[in-house]
Amino acid sequence: MEVTRIRALRGPNLWSRYTAIEAVITCDGAERDLRTNPAFERHLRELFPKIGGLHANKPSTPISMAHALELATLALQAQAGCPVTFSRTTPTEIEGTFQVAVQYTEEAVGRLAFEKAQALCRAAATGESFDVAAALAELHALDEDERLGPSTGAIVDAAIQRGIPIKRLTRGSLVQFGWGSQQRRIQAAEVDGTSAIAESIAQDKDLTKKLLHAAGVPVPLGRPVADLEDAWTVAQEIGLPVVVKPQDGNQGKGVTVGITDRAHFELGYAEAARYGAVMVESYLSGHDFRLLVVGNQLVAAARRDPPLVIGDGQHTVRELVAEVNKDPRRGEGHGTSLTKIRIDAIAEARLKAQNLTPESVPAHGQRVILRNNANLSTGGTATDVTDSVHPEVAARAIEAAQTVGLDICGVDVVCETVIKPLEEQNGGIVEVNAAPGLRMHVSPSFGKGRDVGKAVIDHMYPHGGNGRIPVIAVTGTNGKTTTVRLAAHLLKASGLRVGMTNTDGVYVNGRQIDSGDCSGPRSARNVLAHPDVDAAVLETARGGLLREGLAFDQCDVAIVTNLGGGDHLGLNYITTLEDLKVLKRVIVLNVAPTGTAVLNAADPAVVAMAPHCPGSVTFFAQDGHHPVIATHMAQGKRVVFVDRGDIVCVEGAFIKRLPLARVPLTRKGQIGFQVENAMASVAAAWAVKVSWDAIQKGLASFISDLHGVPGRFNVFDHAGATVIADYGHNPDAIAALVAGVQNMPARRRSVVISGAGDRRDEDIRGQTRILGAAFDDVILYQDACQRGRADGEVLGLLRQGLEGAARTRHVEEIHGEFTAIDRALSQLQAGDLCLILIDQVEDALAHIQRRVDEAANAQAKPVPRAAKTARKPRRSKIAATVALGLRF
């Protein structure tokens, strides 16, 4: 067994909607059917009984070593406590080679599980040992380190329930909710709206107490101290018992309460001093309560009890603590609902106050307290009391939070009971905490858990908001970039700030922020994370889908322009049109239930995607009588087609006509593939409720030039000849271009073309086979990058496609794209037409523009005075400009 590739799919992908580890596995002959080696499965199940039977579900189907690896990776994660359920193994067209996909919840855990599964399978194959318990412990520990803590997790879970997109920004607790201009962020239980000043006030316990006291909120007496002796003086002044704690602290760190003697006081002071300045305050008798305030509401309350054990007359305190710590809810950090109890110097001092040591055997039923403070982080427990809180107590907690300025606040109250006002029982507020822990409310030791995460989300996104912006995803074989650009232009015409990704770059509100081929998920994630984006239009190419999956969990609109004969077939195990269809329909599968798939009705492979859409479907095609269009329209559903020179949009009794004469992109409807791109873009804008006025305005103002759609049917005038530059690079695109230029008159037609070496031989030949029937002259060029082909191999395939051409009579071969362009332009005469299929889009377009400008300047040069008298009368400036084909 050989693993030749491993990658993480971080969004919905070819296999499922789950994040997954994907690997390519090559198995030798014996490993391709494990039924021939029953000892392997027997030994595997001896090592790891929880894996189950390899042939349980498919007893008659050959199970390979790749299948065993898949099942082992999934089972190891599941047994380590990860909530994973999906896995799949698929054979490729190469015998003995398989693709394996296994769900993960934390990428690092998924990768480690895959490594452990490889070692497990090898051990089973060789009869060696494998420590499954150690592997599971390692996976469990890594999962605890990687996954969100209970506080952040509670808020994230609530966001997921609301349908809010989430993105973890760090390995810690910094999480982004929502997209674009609707995004918000949290760090643990602190939201992005929390004031830094309010947080700093909450950290200063003395300042907090002064502000609360000034506001009439009951607080204990005390102050910060300079040293141990000053601290003891304060303790004597306010009277024992006292509390010693850090002036700036959290999670109960360094806090010692209920101190009644000098020895215990010195221990408490030393512990508090580890965290900075120390303060001493009076000890309020009663129970420790935590009240959680979100916004202007009390949303939860819990009584916190200190860590303790109950004697049984047989075991020591240390043994009783060890037994309590076996509770699976108790962990070392904050990742579990409870924390393990520690026996340290503070615990020993508290035991001494009870005339005990860690080795003492308490009497049966005796309560042994290990700490006076009741923080969960030191081993305490929590009991929910939310429904018992007196309105006056709740009012004081809300008042404390608002006095400090915290919108999410943990208010620590000490009193006998929360069913009576604090003033009636000498209770008080001892601390106000920013970023409070939520686990005591989510999973209390006793009582009802509270959905405090929902309360935080309701505060961040009032009125049911989900943090989403309109997202339009575009895929297909041809027309993607033009459709993306036009759809983005229509959204912009409606007043939205639009983020856009395509094969030319990343654009936000009209400004390019990245260049190159940006049609993958990383660029899409950058757009969705940009705070100035109100809507996103994302080109979704096959490469990014295979490499990482989608950048989003769902989209509002999925456009599939066409598949035709397919493109890039033969790469990454996508070898047939059916394979390509399954891959491209991923965006359709992930349309929101309220969203729309915009599908080409004239392409059967695209039409077949319609049943897979969770939302509605809009079909488009030029032929309004196409059976798919006619049937869909008869059902009262949305369709877009062309009729008598108009784009027609129909839904039930509603009809909207958009004249093609006012759509410059289509050259008054002459360029068929641009008409299709326009229809798809209009359908998408319609789906996200762009007004018809904005759609008409956007169609009229979108120009297919170097700035509007670079490399997509850009038309130049070169000394009276028509030059068209396009990035078409597959037979379907070439056929569409030929159909477009046939509507444009020309005396002589020439074409400049190369071929991408990473296409199939038949696809390279197919391009020139189409061109040979439509052009008089063909210039073949070889560029610097042959993409794995030998020198001259691509040119040879292009020549083969021209064999027996119906029209082409002259063929040249030239090395270098720009040299080929110059050769073609030098041969042009007025009335000719030249199609240039460019490869280096930006540089090639700039080169063509320079040559066009040079030709125009040469025509505009003044002639000698003697020659002027012999020429015809000079034309007007406007007439001359029109003759040159320049825009004014």
| Range with the largest mean pLDDT of 50-54, 178-182, 193-197, 670-674 | 178-182
pLDDT in tens, 96-146: 999 999 999 999 999 999 999 999 999 999 999 999 999 999 999 999 999
- pLDDT confidence tier of residue 790, bands split at 50, 70 and 90: confident
Whether pLDDT at 887 is above 60:
no
Q: What is the 3-state secondary structure (H, E, C) of 595-643?
A: EEEEEECCCHHHHCCHHHCCCEEEEEEEECCCHHHHHHHHCCCCEEEEE
Radius of gyration of the chain (CA): 36
- pLDDT confidence tier of residue 338, bands split at 50, 70 and 90: confident
Whether pLDDT at 870 is above 60:
no
Residue the block writes with tokens 């010195």: 266
pLDDT in tens, 226-277: 999 999 999 999 999 999 999 887 767 788 888 999 999 999 999 999 999 9
Q: So what's the pLDDT on residue 32?
A: 93
- Asked if 562 and 569 touch (Cβ cutoff 8 Å), the reply is no
More confident residue, 811 or 888: 811
* b/e per residue 254-290 (b: at least 16 CB within 10 A): bbbbbbeeeebbbbbbbbbbebebbbbbbbbebbbbb
Q: So what's the pLDDT on residue 490?
A: 98
- Asked if 623 and 643 touch (Cβ cutoff 8 Å), the reply is no
pLDDT in tens, 198-234: 999 999 988 999 999 999 999 999 999 999 999 999 9
Whether pLDDT at 172 is above 70:
yes
Q: So what's the pLDDT on residue 755?
A: 81
DSSP classification of residue 571 = B
Residues 6+ apart with CB under 8 A from 860: none
pLDDT in tens, 629-641: 999 999 999 999 9
CA distances from 807 to 606, 748, 771, 810 (A): 33, 11, 9, 9
Q: So what's the pLDDT on residue 216?
A: 93
Cross-sheet strand order for the sheet of 242-246: 222-225, 278-282, 242-246, 256-259
pLDDT in tens, 39-48: 999 999 999 9
Q: So what's the pLDDT on residue 291?
A: 98
Whether pLDDT at 872 is above 60:
no
Whether pLDDT at 873 is above 60:
no
pLDDT in tens, 301-310: 999 998 999 9
Mean of the pLDDT values across residues 409-427?
95
Q: Cβ of 390: how many Cβ atoms within 10 Å?
A: 15
Strand, coil or helix: 140: helix
The region of weakest confidence among 249-253, 328-332, 538-542 is 249-253
CA distances from 469 to 499, 511, 552 (A): 11, 19, 11
> Chain-wide mean pLDDT for the chain?
91
pLDDT in tens, 740-769: 898 898 999 999 999 877 778 888 899 999
Mean of the pLDDT values across residues 178-194?
96
Whether pLDDT at 886 is above 60:
no
Q: Annotate 454-486 with DSSP letters as a single string.
A: HHHHHHHSGGG------EEEEESSSSHHHHHHH
Cis amide prior to 362 (ω within 30 degrees):
no
Whether pLDDT at 874 is above 60:
no
Q: So what's the pLDDT on residue 185?
A: 97
Q: So what's the pLDDT on residue 883?
A: 31
Measured distance CA(516)–CA(494) in Å, rounded? 28
Whether pLDDT at 815 is above 80:
yes
Pairing of β 777-782 and β 810-815: parallel
Q: So what's the pLDDT on residue 709?
A: 83
Whether pLDDT at 882 is above 70:
no
pLDDT in tens, 593-638: 999 999 999 999 999 999 999 999 999 999 999 999 999 999 999 9
Measured distance CA(177)–CA(165) in Å, rounded? 6
CA distances from 601 to 376, 470, 479, 560, 592 (A): 61, 24, 15, 10, 21
pLDDT in tens, 60-77: 678 999 999 999 999 999
Whether pLDDT at 485 is above 90:
yes
- pLDDT confidence tier of residue 565, bands split at 50, 70 and 90: low
Mean of the pLDDT values across residues 685-694?
98
- pTM to 2 decimals? 0.85
- pLDDT confidence tier of residue 575, bands split at 50, 70 and 90: confident
- pLDDT confidence tier of residue 566, bands split at 50, 70 and 90: low
- Asked if 379 and 309 touch (Cβ cutoff 8 Å), the reply is no
Mean of the pLDDT values across residues 348-368?
91
Whether pLDDT at 846 is above 60:
yes
Measured distance CA(259)–CA(232) in Å, rounded? 11
Residues 6+ apart with CB under 8 A from 735: 770
Q: So what's the pLDDT on residue 438?
A: 94
Which domains does the chain carry? 2-146 (no CATH), 471-701 (3.40.1190.10), 714-869 (3.90.190.20)
Structure tokens at 445: 């030791």
Q: So what's the pLDDT on residue 467?
A: 97
Q: So what's the pLDDT on residue 707?
A: 75
For residue 333, what is the enclosing H or E element? none
- pLDDT confidence tier of residue 875, bands split at 50, 70 and 90: very low
More confident residue, 395 or 862: 395
